[in-house]
A and B are shown apart, each in its own frame.
Chain A
């Protein structure tokens, strides 16, 4: 073993690349079944005892968001380019480290709806998944239990459930009660939100205490983060090596199976051999690693005989509107939402694309942040704060994107990272049909705000929509090896022992935050690996 403990594990059964939610759950499941598992993580293992400091720095204007979880290493580790029609802010959208992007996520955990698996058959949109909602439902149950999902049975639009949520839903906010009257008036049904945070103690983690900084950091630990399952995997005997950048996967002499992961750490470059490999690096680094792993046997990149690796990069589009009303709305007490609406999700007018609406509890300025950015202080500042806080309302939402070849992740061979490897180039755009769905969502949002007699101050529509930081579909699942990268068991068509555990295997995106589906697929992947090896 090397001085810093980052040498390979001997006789590993499974090598997992990436310690985000997908890698963590896959590793934990397999380790708990007795397999010798090693996890290679490019980022560091953060000291969660520093979360109070992170919270403060997230509120104080001197500190960039990228500093918080060290996504500005300064050495080019996370360099990327964005050459599509719309700029894609990749490093704001991810965290590299033990826990992955759940370290800074919001923690919303909805299941996809049944239609999401059948968009081609039902609506001629995209491709059908090779699995159905029914196939994934048992894994959703397990994923909710593992993550500790707080939810209610009051959503009439939700897909069928075989088990109740493991935790009760958070009670609706006072702000929700104002929206409720308005939604009644416009005929829009509200309901609770599945949250991956604790309304009561669960799995050794404490209850939410209302810091209000869920995104980017929850100092109480009430919000689920995937380092929970990394620790559980280690308890089951898995070995986790941080600051281990996997540069490529190498195949055996026949090119039929992955033999080793070549990774570089601060102490040197190593080869990790294993019987099976799981790439769990998210929707951008997963295709990048496969493309970086091209060889004589796989000249277009590993697992890429279909040409689909990196193609169909798909996001969720933010849609929102907000303003002020003539009464107190009590915003910014908490940093998460307690009510949403799936009422538009399964409709077809004007498009069949999914739309999810949210009622925000953090509309308008937060006095502490405003005070530290103000040009005033003393009584003048207090007067300004009293004038600006207290009567804002906002709605947010997500609109589904349709996978298209036009949006893709490829290698930018003109730019290299700290190890000399080409960086990912993210090409992203918004299609006309998606703009139409955004406009339709804006109309409903403005109807609700109108019913509240709100003075609408801003709308995020098709022109200024942005990504929700959900990277999907870049190594999609499918029955056929000429149009998809992995099969219905998330094993690469082209290789005997390569699995992908990631939102990159989604076939279509729906409009639900993806992490619960990532977790469910990770548990499913682990089952298949267990069967295979």
Chain B
């Protein structure tokens, strides 16, 4: 199941709006930091998304652009959290998180304690990785129909899916 730019707009809550149109044409060529965030998030997404989800660059790019435009402090927060994750990985493996083999990334996140960390934007390194990285990705997936349908709900909470789905038979 593929996550597209459209799904990112849905997760941002701007699909179909004028603002969504603005995001749709946004690009990151002039923003190396944000482009790097997209790349680094994709490495984490490979670990924390189900294997049947195919994360496209367009999805992450659009989501990050939206977040940067919408939320003060987002870019700084996610960059710091990804830096912490990289730093932790380098101490263990002498390489960045993205350079670690995909099958090692899950373990690295767990070693760091991200799996059991309480998400907190101002918390410990693990708590900030949980908040800015893992939970951002989970929110972006499971509040969209793509993520919802994986579980069996086409109008998940947080998604404005209208007034038909709740009446529909299974």
Mask, B51-76, CB within 8 Å of A = 1, is 11000000000000000001100000
Specify the chain A residue showing the minimal Cβ separation from B123. A62
Mask, A369-394, CB within 8 Å of B = 1, is 10110011111011001100110000
The reply on B151 being an interface residue by CB < 8 A is: yes
The reply on A305 being an interface residue by CB < 8 A is: no
Contact of A174 among B51, B139, B168 (CB under 8 A): B168
Mask, B122-155, CB within 8 Å of A = 1, is 0000000001001100110111000110111101
Stretch touching chain A among B79-87, B89-97, B113-121: B113-121
Contact of B165 among A53, A60, A61, A333 (CB under 8 A): A333
Residues 27-54 of B contacting A (Cβ, < 8 Å): 47-52
Specify the chain A residue showing the minimal Cβ separation from B152. A390
What are the 5 A-B residue pairs with the smallest beta carbon separation, nearest first?
Answer: A333-B166, A209-B160, A368-B142, A377-B48, A328-B170
- Which residues from chain B contact A366 at a C-beta distance below 8 Å? 156-157
The reply on A279 being an interface residue by CB < 8 A is: no
Contacting pair A212 B163 (CB below 8 A): no
Q: Tell me the A residues contacting B by CB distance below 8 Å.
A: 52-53, 55-56, 59-62, 170-175, 199, 207-213, 219-220, 327-328, 330, 332-335, 338, 361, 366-369, 371-372, 375-379, 381-382, 385-386, 389-390
Specify the chain B residue showing the minimal Cβ separation from A329. B170
26 residue pairs of the A-B complex, CB under 8 angstroms, read A53-B71, A55-B158, A56-B13, A56-B158, A61-B118, A170-B163, A171-B163, A173-B166, A207-B163, A209-B163, A210-B166, A211-B159, A212-B158, A213-B158, A333-B161, A333-B165, A368-B148, A369-B157, A372-B119, A372-B138, A375-B115, A375-B116, A377-B109, A377-B134, A378-B106, A385-B150
Cα separation A366 to B169 with both chains bound (whole Å): 18
The reply on B101 being an interface residue by CB < 8 A is: no
Q: Closest approach, in angstroms, between the C-beta of B81 and any C-beta of chain A?
A: 13
How would you classify the secondary structure of chain A's contact residues: helix, strand, loop or mixed?
A: loop
Q: Closest approach, in angstroms, between the C-beta of B42 and any C-beta of chain A?
A: 15
- Which residues from chain A contact B121 at a C-beta distance below 8 Å? 62
Contacting pair A371 B106 (CB below 8 A): no
Cα separation A366 to B159 with both chains bound (whole Å): 12
Q: A210-B166, A368-B147 are in contact. List 16 more A-B contacts (CB 8 A).
A: A56-B139, A59-B139, A59-B143, A61-B119, A174-B169, A211-B160, A330-B168, A334-B166, A368-B148, A371-B142, A375-B115, A377-B138, A379-B51, A381-B48, A385-B150, A390-B151
Cα separation A175 to B153 with both chains bound (whole Å): 13
- Which residues from chain B contact A175 at a C-beta distance below 8 Å? 166
Question: With A174-B169, A213-B158, A366-B157 in contact, is A377–B115 under 8 Å at CB?
Answer: yes
Specify the chain A residue showing the minimal Cβ separation from B106. A378
- Which residues from chain B contact A390 at a C-beta distance below 8 Å? 151-153
Contacting pair A372 B153 (CB below 8 A): no
Cα separation A334 to B156 with both chains bound (whole Å): 9
- Which residues from chain B contact A210 at a C-beta distance below 8 Å? 155, 159-163, 165-166
Contacting pair B51 A389 (CB below 8 A): no
Specify the chain B residue showing the minimal Cβ separation from A62. B119
Count of A-B residue pairs with CB < 8 Å: 151
Contact of A382 among B109, B151, B162, B170 (CB under 8 A): B151
Cα separation A35 to B159 with both chains bound (whole Å): 43
Specify the chain B residue showing the minimal Cβ separation from A388. B151
Cα separation A175 to B168 with both chains bound (whole Å): 9
Most buried by B among A330, A368, A372, A389: A368
- Which residues from chain A contact B160 at a C-beta distance below 8 Å? 209-211, 219-220
Contacting pair A367 B48 (CB below 8 A): no
Specify the chain A residue showing the minimal Cβ separation from B120. A62
Contacting pair A62 B51 (CB below 8 A): no
- Which residues from chain B contact A212 at a C-beta distance below 8 Å? 155-159
- Which residues from chain A contact B158 at a C-beta distance below 8 Å? 55-56, 59, 211-213, 368
Contacting pair B163 A367 (CB below 8 A): no
Contact of B152 among A208, A369, A386 (CB under 8 A): A386
- Which residues from chain B contact A207 at a C-beta distance below 8 Å? 163
Q: Closest approach, in angstroms, between the C-beta of B37 and any C-beta of chain A?
A: 19
Specify the chain A residue showing the minimal Cβ separation from B50. A382
Q: Closest approach, in angstroms, between the C-beta of B137 and any C-beta of chain A?
A: 9
Most buried by A among B119, B134, B156: B156
Contacting pair B138 A332 (CB below 8 A): no
- Which residues from chain A contact B147 at a C-beta distance below 8 Å? 367-368
Contact of A378 among B48, B162, B163, B168 (CB under 8 A): B48
Cα separation A382 to B53 with both chains bound (whole Å): 11
Q: Closest approach, in angstroms, between the C-beta of A373 and any C-beta of chain B?
A: 9
Cα separation A375 to B119 with both chains bound (whole Å): 11
Specify the chain B residue showing the minimal Cβ separation from A369. B157
- Which residues from chain A contact B153 at a C-beta distance below 8 Å? 330, 332-333, 367, 389-390
Cα separation A213 to B157 with both chains bound (whole Å): 7
- Which residues from chain B contact A371 at a C-beta distance below 8 Å? 138, 141-142
Cα separation A374 to B150 with both chains bound (whole Å): 16
- Which residues from chain A contact B71 at a C-beta distance below 8 Å? 53
